[in-house]
Amino acid sequence: MNKKIFVCEPYLNGNETKYVMDAVSTGWISSSGAYVTKFEEAFSGYCGVKHGIAVCNGTVALHLALAALGIGKGDEVIIPSFTMIATAFAVCYVGAMPVFVDADKDTWNIDVNKIEEKITPRTKAIIPVHVFGNPCDMDAITEIAKKHNLFIVEDAAEAHGATYKGRKVGSFSEVACFSFFANKNVTTGEGGMCVTDDDNYAKLCRYYKNVCFNPDGPRDYLHNDIGFNYRMSNIHAAIGLAQTEKADEYKKMRMNNHALYKKYLEGVDGVVFQKDEKDSENVGWMNTIVLDTDKYGRTRDELIVQLKENGVDTRLLFKSMSIQPALKKYGCDCSGKYPVTDWLSENGFYLPSASNLPEEDIKGICDIIKDFAR
C-alpha cells in the first residue's frame, strides 16, 4: 500500500472545536465548567442510567467504583484473565485481590461457566469486561452475582453503545466504567466515566473523586476520608459532549468496518474472528483476528511483519493476567491454567479500526492477508 494506515485514529467530526473554544474563551477550563455536567448527563442518558461521574481516565473510573462499593483489603474480585491490566490494577489500588477466570473460546469474554469455581467467602465482586465491544453474557453473570451476593462492576471501556438483549452495556451493574481514550468509539483524548442508577453510589463516587470535599456543605478543608483527585476538565468534557452527540453514528461506522473485514476475509483458512455474544450487538471497537497457523500457513508474527512492510499498523493482544510480573509481586495466585487466554495472546492481533477508515483501505489490508496465506 502507498500510505501508512494507523491502527486507530480519533474521529472528531462534530461540535468538538465549537465547544472547546467556548470553554476556552469563557475561561472555564477546569473541572468546574458546565460542559462536565452536560457530558455526564448526556453520556449516562445514552447508557440508559441516571448518573454519570466524569473522571480523568478509565482506570481511575474502575478504582473509584470499587472504592464507592466499599471493596478493600482482604476482599477478592473476579476478573477475566484476558483483559487490559488496568482492570487488575484497579482491584489492587483498593487493596483487594484480583482472581482470574479464563476467556470463552468463541466470544473471548470471561467464561461464565468457570466463574463459580473461583468464588470464595472473600469474593465481593465480579468485573465482566466487554472485550473489543462484545457484551458479556450478563444474564448468567447477574444470576451468579445474585446467588452469591456479589457486586457487579462492568468494565465497558471498549463497548460504548453495545447492547445485550436490547439494553446498553453500563446498565447491568451497580457501577459501570468507561474509558474515553483516543482510540475509543467515543473519545475525550484522555478521560473516563462511572455510570450508575444508584443515588448513593453516585454520591460516593463524586465524593471520592473530589478529594473527599464535603458534597453537602461549604469547602472547609476538613477531609474525613482518603480521597482522590480524579476530576475531568471542562475542555475534555466539551469534546466528550460533542462525541456523545454523534455516538450512534460512530458506532455504526465501527460496526460497518467490522462487517467489511469479515466480508473480505471470508473463506480465508486460518483467520478466526470473535463470535458475538448471543442476543447482543457487538460494536466492533477493534477488529481483531486470531491466526490458526496450521491452516493459514504463516505465523501471526510473520503476518504482522508483512503488513508493516506494506504500511499497515497493528497491535498485539493482551497478555494473560496470570503471567504479569507486577501481579505476581502483589501476591495474586498465578498458578492456574488459562489456555484460551494464552491462545489469544500468542496468535491474535488488532487490525486498523478507526471509525472513518475507508472501505478501500480495509479491502487493501484484507488483500494482503489473503495473498500472504500459504
For the stretch 152-209, pLDDT in tens is 999 999 999 999 999 999 999 999 999 999 999 999 999 999 999 999 999 999 999 9
- For position 280, what pLDDT does the model report? 97
CB of 158 within 8 A of CB of 80? no
Confidence category of residue 217, pLDDT binned at 50, 70, 90: confident
**Taking residues 243-250, what's their average pLDDT?**
98
User: Is pLDDT at 86 greater than 90 in this prediction?
Assistant: yes
User: Is pLDDT at 5 greater than 70 in this prediction?
Assistant: yes
Question: For 248-372, which CATH class?
Answer: alpha beta
Provide the CA 302 distance to its chain's centre, in angstroms: 28
Confidence category of residue 1, pLDDT binned at 50, 70, 90: low
* 10 three-state secondary structure: coil
* Other residues' Cβ atoms within 10 Å of the Cβ of residue 139: 14
* Other residues' Cβ atoms within 10 Å of the Cβ of residue 217: 8
328 is catalytic: no
CATH number, domain 16-247: 3.40.640.10
> Phi and psi for 250 in degrees, rounded to 5?
-65, -35
The torsion angle over the Cα atoms of residues 276, 80, 68 and 164, rounded to 10 degrees, is 10
Which entry of 114, 168, 184, 209 is annotated as an active-site residue? 184
| Position with higher pLDDT, 217 vs 79 | 79
Percent of the chain with pLDDT over 90: 97
Confidence category of residue 58, pLDDT binned at 50, 70, 90: very high
pTM of the model: 0.97
β-pair type (151-155, 163-164): unpaired
**Taking residues 329-347, what's their average pLDDT?**
97
**Taking residues 217-243, what's their average pLDDT?**
95
Torsion sign (Cα): 72, 75, 76, 77: negative
CB of 147 within 8 A of CB of 127? no
Q: What is the mean pLDDT of the chain?
A: 97
CA distances from residue 359 to 190, 289, 291, 354 in whole angstroms, order as listed: 28, 18, 23, 11
β-pair type (192-196, 51-55): antiparallel
Which cell numbers in the block locate residue 324? Answer: 504479569
- For position 259, what pLDDT does the model report? 98
Q: Which residue has the cell 467556548?
A: 22
Whole-number CA gyration radius for the chain: 21
Q: Where are the domains of the chain?
A: 16-247, 248-372
**Taking residues 241-262, what's their average pLDDT?**
98
Confidence category of residue 96, pLDDT binned at 50, 70, 90: very high
**CA distance linking residue 133 with residue 135, whole number of Å:** 6
Q: Which residue type does 16 have?
A: E
* Other residues' Cβ atoms within 10 Å of the Cβ of residue 46: 19
> Per-residue pLDDT tens for 285-302?
999 999 999 999 999 999
* Other residues' Cβ atoms within 10 Å of the Cβ of residue 96: 21
